[in-house]
């Protein structure tokens, strides 16, 4: 059952209903173009990233054989191809115009979630050592850019109610790709977040790709905030980092497209926590059979989440980070039987299960990066999800494992 009233103005009751209908085993996706709630899985498969396109086509075939009207496949795919993701074919899909602006006008739901312990992995010293090691690799010429990530494991007193967290994410990030998805066919845990970055949107032959790289924290004072944004737009280090991403994406898109339009330089994109350098690339696919997922897979992992050269950066991430990224810096989205769809990078995200949250954040490291600044940047990014859960954003800057008998004391 599909409702595609995407051009209709959103009424408060309809938006509320969409969130009220959400349950922890469902798939939710709100982008600048639509809101979607998918449920009642006809087929749900755990897959490795390398099997994604083959599985997509198999799901569409099974949907057609079962006379499913206008099948849509939704899901999450991992950063590394040898880790599991999940693609799902729902019996029920409800779609409407995006509800981010509605959420921005609504009162923010309150949450009474209390953290009782928090553990950064790697800790401050370990993360700074990783950045310092990367700087040595840059000087030797073995790497040009490396994205280094860390996690924050938070134990909570009670389990997390997902629907109000989604509304809080949209209120604070109305233009983001806000999502929630089961991580396995069996359910159990929910992967959710508010990504600022579009991998690809495909409508017919037309594609849009919007890489981000280079960022700085927002400031509370309006004049200082604008000054920080202007400084980012002329920062040699951040422009250098951004150029790697754009050049690599253009290289990968060129054989797929008969036309490609690339701006001369980046512009600014803002979230409630950060300013980002952003380049919106538009193209026309050479082959109309190339699906949105196929384009996303061709680009992944970009230097925005991995590094340059890609294979060497990927190997360094696996050696140094000290944890598996799993779905973090993979992709989340949907694709229909025509190949149209949207896929966002799974950033500003967390995995919620029972009484534990695992939050993820990374920062692009290039020649001239400072270990302390990179740690602070990842802490700012962790703040997006901490705030959405109603937790103290200062937890993102923790240097080591800490017990928290009460958040007021932390």
Q: Given 197, 321, 326, 342, which residue is catalytic? A: 197
188 sits in the region (left: phi over 0; alpha: psi -120 to 50; else beta) called left
Task: Decide the pairing of beta strands 84-96 and 35-48.
Answer: antiparallel
Instruction: Report how far apart, in Å, the C-alpha atoms of 274 and of each of 17, 343, 386 are.
Output: 31, 21, 15
Nearest of 152, 131, 142, 135 to residue 328 by alpha carbon: 152
Q: Given 137, 145, 171, 381, which residue is catalytic? A: 145
Helices first, then strands: H and E counts in the chain: 10, 22
Q: How far apart are the first and last CA of the chain?
A: 48
Task: Report residue 370 as tokens.
Answer: 């400072």
Q: At what angle do helices 292-299 and 52-65 cross, to 10 degrees?
A: 170
Q: Is 145 annotated in the active site? A: yes
Helix locations, 257-309, DSSP H: 292-299
Q: Is 282 annotated in the active site? A: no
- The phi and psi torsions of 108 (rounded to 5 degrees) equal -75, 130
Q: Among all chains, which residue has been given the structure tokens 């059979």? A: 289
Instruction: Report how far apart, in Å, the C-alpha atoms of 319 and of each of 74, 168, 322, 326, 403 are.
Output: 31, 36, 7, 15, 29
How would DSSP label each residue in 95-144? EES--HHHHHHSPPPP----EEEEEEES-HHHHHHHHHHHHHHHHHTS-S
3-state secondary structure of 70: coil
Q: Among all chains, which residue has been given the structure tokens 């509370």? A: 220
Q: Is the dihedral of CA 270, 276, 281, 287 positive or negative?
A: negative
Percent helix, strand and coil across the chain, each to the nearest 5: 35, 35, 35
Rounded CA separation 220/390 (Å) = 19
- The phi and psi torsions of 32 (rounded to 5 degrees) equal -65, -10
Beta bridge partners of 194: 178
Q: Please list the active-site residues.
A: 145, 197
């Amino acid at each position: 059952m599909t409702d595609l009233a995407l051009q209709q103005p959103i009424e408060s009751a309809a938006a509320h209903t969409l969130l009220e209908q959400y349950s922890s085993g469902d798939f939710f996706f709100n982008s600048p173009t639509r809101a979607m709630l998918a449920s009642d899985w006809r087929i749900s498969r755990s897959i490795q990233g390398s099997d994604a396109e083959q599985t997509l086509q198999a799901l569409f075939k099974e949907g057609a054989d079962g006379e499913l009207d206008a099948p849509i496949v939704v899901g999450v795919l991992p950063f590394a191809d040898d880790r599991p993701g999940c693609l799902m074919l729902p019996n029920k899909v409800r779609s409407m115009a995006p509800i981010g602006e509605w959420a921005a006008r609504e009162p923010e739901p309150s949450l009474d979630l209390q953290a009782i312990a928090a553990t950064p992995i790697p800790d401050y010293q370990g993360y700074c050592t990783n950045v310092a090691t990367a700087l040595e690799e840059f000087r030797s010429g073995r790497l040009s850019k490396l994205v280094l990530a860390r996690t924050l494991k938070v134990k909570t007193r009670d389990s997390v109610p997902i629907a109000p967290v989604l509304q809080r994410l949209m209120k604070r990030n109305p233009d983001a790709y806000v999502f929630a998805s089961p991580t396995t066919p069996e359910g159990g845990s929910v992967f959710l977040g508010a990504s600022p970055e579009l991998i690809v949107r495909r409508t017919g032959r037309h594609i849009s790709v919007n890489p981000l790289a280079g960022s700085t924290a927002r400031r509370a004072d309006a004049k200082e905030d604008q000054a920080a944004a202007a400084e980012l737009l002329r920062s040699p280090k951040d422009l250098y980092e951004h150029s790697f991403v754009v050049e690599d994406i253009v290289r990968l898109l060129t054989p797929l497209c008969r036309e490609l339009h690339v701006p001369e330089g980046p512009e600014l994109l803002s979230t409630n926590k950060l300013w980002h350098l952003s380049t919106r690339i538009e193209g026309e696919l050479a082959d109309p059979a190339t699906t949105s997922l196929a384009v996303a897979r061709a680009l992944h992992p970009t230097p925005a989440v991995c590094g340059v050269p890609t294979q060497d950066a990927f190997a360094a991430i696996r050696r140094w980070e000290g944890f598996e990224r799993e779905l973090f810096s993979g992709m989340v989205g949907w694709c229909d039987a025509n190949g149209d769809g949207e896929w966002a990078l799974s950033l500003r995200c967390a995995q919620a299960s029972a009484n534990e949250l695992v939050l993820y954040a990374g920062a692009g490291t290039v020649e001239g990066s400072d270990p302390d600044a990179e740690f602070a940047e990842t802490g700012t990014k962790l703040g997006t999800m901490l705030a959405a859960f109603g937790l103290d954003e200062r937890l993102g800057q923790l240097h080591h494992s800490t017990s928290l008998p009460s958040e007021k004391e932390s």
